[in-house]
Amino acid sequence: MTTPSMTPPIATPITAADRDAGAAWLAPAKLNLMLRVVGRREDGYHELQTVFQFIDRCDRLWFDLREDGRIRRLNDVAGVAEHDDLTVRAALALQRATGCTLGADIRCEKNLPMGGGLGGGSSDAATTLVALNRLWNTGLDEDALSEIALPLGADVPVFVRGRAAWAEGVGERLVPVELPQTWFLVLAPACFVSTRSVFSHPQLTRNSDPIKLADFLSGNIVNDCLPVVRREYPPVAAALEWLSAWGDSRLTGTGGCVFASFDDRERAVAACRQSPAGMSGFVAQGLNRSPLFVRADRESG
């Protein structure tokens, strides 16, 4: 495990690539490699322990600056009104926090399934904060952006910081970790799993004993949400059952995507090709650094 500083500034001078309307900003998926519910707070939120790792499956976003201060979403998202869209809410939150008078037209190419536990909406929000912080020259560092991010969703800060992490609290207390960047087969059953429904389910375990990172590294990969999701969502249960023939099949977050790890890409691809008809899936590599920051890392030297 490594514990680098989590407060370097991420606002840097705008480059020609930043201004290029054709240059997409990436919003990667994440996997929860384990998830424990260790308590419930007075405000109703759950105390968690989890491990986040990114994968190289991404939504893509484009931002065109506006001088009139308006924030617009250019594409429709099924079931999500524009004012509820996390990209729009993130942009408005950054405006309020900084007093920026610029606006943006936002377009998002969705490649991550909604309700899949891959963090797509949270990742889109984080990418919006990081991108507009650069494009608007608002100059906030990681900590300031993370403070804006947390009210948008418990998973948004890890995407803002962009490092694989051990997480506690509601998911906002983060310690960077270096994990094997292995290959994963991810299956996306054809059902939407409601995080709210899972966390409000009467049979959810809410008092697991806390563990240490060393316990996870030694093989403790339990996800306390899995029994509830398996019981309530038969397509997820079927995907878990099929995938178990290839290794430890796990649920990411509250689901409904499930995954198994592989030592090499070829074996993961072979398994994916054998998946049953109607069972959507893809192969992706685990990443300890979000692809959102690859360009910024390169430019900063």
Question: Residues forming the annotated binding site for ATP?
Answer: 113-123
Reading the block at residue 158, the tokens are 């890890």
Reading the block at residue 18, the tokens are 């930043």
Known catalytic residue: 110? no
- Is residue 138 a contact partner of residue 11, using CB atoms and an 8 Å limit? yes
From 59, 85, 124, 155, active-site residue = 155
- Is residue 49 a contact partner of residue 86, using CB atoms and an 8 Å limit? no
From 30, 85, 124, 224, active-site residue = 30
Any idea of the CA torsion for 29, 63, 93, 120, to the nearest 10 degrees? Answer: -20
| Sign of the four-CA dihedral 65, 67, 71, 73 | negative
Known catalytic residue: 212? no
Helix or strand run (H / E) with residue 129: helix 120-135
Non-local CB neighbours of 69 within 8 Å, separated by 6+ positions? 95, 101, 102, 103
Active site residues: 30, 155
